Each structure stands twice: as structure tokens, then as C-alpha cells.
Amino acid sequence: MNIQMVDLYGQYFKIKDEIDQEMHQVIRSSVFVKGGKVFEFEDNLKKYLDVEHVITCGNGTDALQIAMMALNLNEGDEVITSPFTFVSTLEVLALMKLKPILADVDPNNFNIRPDLVNCHIDHLTKAIIPVHLFGQCADMESLTQIAQDNNLYIIEDACQALGTEYIFKNGMVAKAGTIGDIACNSFFPTKNLGAFGDGGALFTNNNEFAQTMRSIANHGMGNRYYYQQIGMNSRLDALQAAILDVKLKYLDQYIQARQSAAEFYDRELATIQEISIPARVSYSSHSFHQYTIKVPKRRNELQRFLHSKGIPCMVYYPLPLHLQEAYQYLGYRKGDFPVAEELSEQVLSLPMHTELTIEELKSIISAIREFFS
Ligand SMILES: *Cc1c(COP(=O)(O)O)cnc(C)c1O
């Protein structure tokens, strides 16, 4: 048995003919950058999400930068986000010379806590970036209220949550990434909808932001070779669009496969006292970009044990962002975000992908049982 953290080849192999054919068509057309295939994919993703605009770009990190450029945030403006996530958010804020203000996360669902966001708002605050970590949405209804009360933008980092559904208190349902002013998504190969390389996208219901972001992603160009603003070169290429367009048809199926694996894990792990299974919130579905358990004691030992049995598992994330060397200039110290710090010592993500078999899941469970027996 060869258990993988993510099985990208297995996923491709099932739809190989369809993907190969689409790739050949792009090569035959030799329109490799922009062009019809990219617009076709944007259009299909727009319909899937039920959002007004989808603008593809080079990767999820660029998407964050394009969003911040489009919102016209200026040096010194404050943006509130999470210390317990992938580095991109903080990195882009730093590059843009904006001031990141971190707010601690909920120990159960790993997402930013609206009440703590509220504590950090002052006259310099311009935006909030909730990250829908591991595939489950942050509390968007509370965050939207806070944003409205304080005249702030919300940029959703939906990179790990494409296909996740948000459930409003009145029963309305919306896809993750369609609720804030702008949302950022990544098509990194291991994400819910993964390309065969880098890719990203922005979502918005705001026409003006959409137009600006489309221009920024293409050098700030208006009419051909006339530049209205400083932009970037950040585009999804046609081969990636063709691949993504095929895989988009299977996205809901992929998410169901992840959810079934998660349910299996839940059932089997619920009885192991040393572990907490991922908590679910009432306002969001879970697309299980990651299946992340908490192991308050002996997490590292468990990880080493599983590795010795040939079972991959990963710590996302081993050091919260405020303690990273590159971001010491922000002036945060150990103890500032106790929940993020504790989580980084307790979390463990188990193999999670669309191709996991019952046999694989059983052998992962039995290894975990063996460790705790
Ligand atoms: C993957 C990811 C990003 C960055 O996406 P790239 O396409 O790798 O640049 C940003 N934020 C989060 C939460 C991510 O998981």
C-alpha cells in the first residue's frame, strides 16, 4: 500500500482522456496565454459560484495582491487577519507596505474570531482578511456586520475552500468566496480544484473592482498598450484553464469524496480520547482541504510513528506567522496569540484527497490506534 498525502496522479488518471484531449486542443490552437479557453473557464466557474465576476490570475498570492491594489489601500493602512494560516496573506500585506494587525483564532475551528477582530479596529483599519482555513468558512455573517459598522472591506482568502457552502442565519446559502467584497482563490495542484502548475482567481460582485482587477492582472492596461495604472503580469495560461475547466465538472464529486473520507476518520477517531476530531460550525459546510486533528500530547511522537509506518501526515502550520523570523519587525512576541501558538503544537493533518480507499483509511486508523494502545 502506498498511502499519499495527496494523490494527484490517481485523480488525473480517471479523467485522463478528457484532460489530454483538451490539452491537445490548446496546443493545436497555440493560444497559450489569455484567449477563449481562459474566458470559458472563468464563465463556467462564475456559474458554479453564482458570482458576477471571476478574474483568473497567476496564483493565489497574486490574487491577494491584486485585490489589495484594486481596493487602493495605501501605505500604513491597517488590515486585520489571522496568525494561523499560510504565509501569503501576511507576505502580501508586507510587500504592499500595509500594516498587518493579527487577531487570534478559535481553538476549535481554527478561523479568525470576530469578537477579537472587533477589538483591533481603529481609525487606520481598512480591511479584514478572513481565511477559510482547511475548507471551512470563517464566521462571515458576524464579520460582515463588523465591516459594515466600521466601513471596512472584506477580502476572503478562499484558497482552501473552493466549493464550500456558507449558510446564513436566514437559511440562504452562498459559495465561499462570494460573500466579501473580493475573494482570492488558488489553483495550486493540491487545492480543492488544482491545476497542473500555478493558477489563481479573484471573485467579486462589484463591477468596478472587477474591471480594475482585470486590468491590474494584465499590466494595468486599458486599451492595448495604454496603461491606466501600475499593474502586474499575473495570468492563468490556457493549458491550466483547459485542465481546470474539465476538473470543475468534478469538483462537487471531489468534495463529496473528501467528505466521505472525513466521515470515516470521524467515526473511527471519535473514540480515541487523546485526539480531537475537527469541529464543524453551523454556518458552513466543510470541503476538507485538510482533515486536521488536534493531539494535545505527543503530537510529534505520533507523527514520527505514522511516518515510520509509511503513513504521511503534516503539520499545518508548525509556527504561527507572528513568530516567523521574516515578520519579527511587526513587533509581536511569543504569548501574543496563545491559541495560534497552542494549535501549532497540537495540529496534525492526515492524508486527505479524492482517491483515498477504505483499505487505506483503515490502515491509517489502525496505525493511530496502535500508537495510543
Ligand atoms: C495556497 C494558499 C495561498 C496561496 O496560493 P498560491 O496559489 O500558492 O499563491 C494563500 N492563502 C491560503 C490560505 C492558501 O492555502
Q: What is the pLDDT along the chain (373 residues), one digit of tens a residue?
A: 899 999 999 999 999 999 999 999 999 999 999 889 999 999 999 999 999 999 999 999 999 999 999 999 999 999 999 999 999 999 999 999 999 999 999 999 999 999 999 999 999 999 999 999 999 999 999 999 999 999 999 999 999 999 999 999 999 999 999 999 999 999 999 999 999 999 999 999 999 999 999 999 999 999 999 999 999 999 999 999 999 999 999 999 999 999 999 999 999 999 999 999 999 999 999 999 999 999 999 999 999 999 999 999 999 999 999 999 999 999 999 999 999 999 999 999 999 999 999 999 999 999 999 999 9
* Residue 302 C-alpha from the chain's centroid: 26
**Per the omega criterion (within 30 degrees of 0), is the bond before 317 cis?**
yes
For the chain, the first-to-last Cα distance in angstroms comes to 23
Nearest CA to ligand 1 atom 6: 60
Coil/strand/helix, residue 145: helix
Mean pLDDT value across the chain: 97
Coil/strand/helix, residue 185: strand
CA 159 to centroid of ligand 1, rounded, Å: 5
Ligand 1, closest atom to CA 131? 13
Question: CATH top-level class for 8-248?
Answer: alpha beta
186 closest CA partner among 159, 161, 204 = 159
CATH 3.90.1150.10 fits 251-372, yes or no: yes
Which amino acid, 83?
P
Q: How far apart are CA 129 and CA 91, in angstroms?
A: 13
Ligand 1 mutation pick, 56, 82, 92, 159, max ligand atoms within 8 A of CB: 159
CA 89 to centroid of ligand 1, rounded, Å: 8
String of DSSP letters for 326-367: GGGGG---TTSSHHHHHHHHHEEEEP--TT--HHHHHHHHHH
Ligand 1 mutation pick, 57, 90, 186, 232, max ligand atoms within 8 A of CB: 186
CA 56 to centroid of ligand 1, rounded, Å: 14
Beta carbons of 306 and 367 less than 8 angstroms apart? yes
Phi and psi at residue 125, to the nearest 5°: -70, 130
Coil/strand/helix, residue 107: coil
Beta carbons of 220 and 228 less than 8 angstroms apart? yes
Q: How far apart are CA 373 and CA 191, in angstroms?
A: 34
Pocket around ligand 1: residues whose beta carbon is below 6 Å from it?
59-61, 85-86, 88, 131, 157, 159-160, 186, 188, 198, 200
Ligand 1, closest atom to CA 186? 7
CA 7 to centroid of ligand 1, rounded, Å: 19
Nearest CA to ligand 1 atom 3: 60
Note the pTM of the prediction, 2 decimals: 0.97
pLDDT of residue 152: 98
Ligand 1, closest atom to CA 198? 7
pLDDT of residue 34: 86
Q: How far apart are CA 260 and CA 266, in angstroms?
A: 10
Coil/strand/helix, residue 241: helix
User: Domain locations in the chain?
Assistant: 8-248, 251-372
